[in-house]
Amino acid sequence: MIKYSDIVGESMVDGTGIRVTAFLQGCPRSCEGCHNPTLQPLEGGMEIEEKDFAMLLLNKITPLHKGITFSGGEPFIQGEALYKVLRYIKKENPHLDIWVYTGFTFEEIQELPLLKFVDVLVDGPFIIEKKDLALPFRGSSNQRIIDVGPSLKEGKVVEAYEECFASPR
């Protein structure tokens, strides 16, 4: 089972292109200035079987969509369930671009098997003193936009570059 709070069918602020964005429930961090404080309680949200959740997301995909983004809350506190969801999504539509937002750093989670299904990871906690609204796809300057495949191969962070974000679908 996976717990989620909401699904946005067409987002252009949670990664490149038009995306389906799933907001997962629960986050233990309580960052000051949190973008989604209502998603912090672990007891909130709706529970659904992983395959059913994957199908719910896939059924929202149109030819205009570039991919699916998982945000929160903190997606990695539901790591096993998210692994199952991502595995199913990539099996059904391997070309979908998957983004995941996390308060963990890449270095803290790089050994997790679910990362092999993630294309882009936006990592690091939101730090209000480093808030910068001019940054694309993140809230504070400590957060990185990571190209996961090359990062896993090289064993170190390979950041995605902002000029890549300008490309259409």
Domain residues for the domain of 31 are 2-166
Each residue of 3-61: pLDDT tens digit? 999 999 999 988 999 999 999 998 788 777 777 777 776 888 899 999 999 999 999 99
Percent of the chain with pLDDT over 70: 95
Is residue 2 pLDDT above 80, yes or no?
yes
CATH number of the domain that residue 30 is part of: 3.20.20.70
User: Global pTM?
Assistant: 0.91
| Residues forming beta bridges with residue 120, ordered by sequence position | 99, 147
CB contact at 8 A, 24 and 8: no
Element (H, E) at 149: helix 148-154
Lookup: tokens for 61: 């995909």
Q: Per-residue pLDDT for 162 more than 70? A: no
Q: Which residues contact residue 159 at a Cβ distance below 8 angstroms, ignoring those fewer than 6 apart?
A: 144, 145, 146, 147
How many structural domains comprise the chain?
Answer: 1
Per-residue confidence band for 122, with pLDDT thresholds at 50, 70 and 90: very high
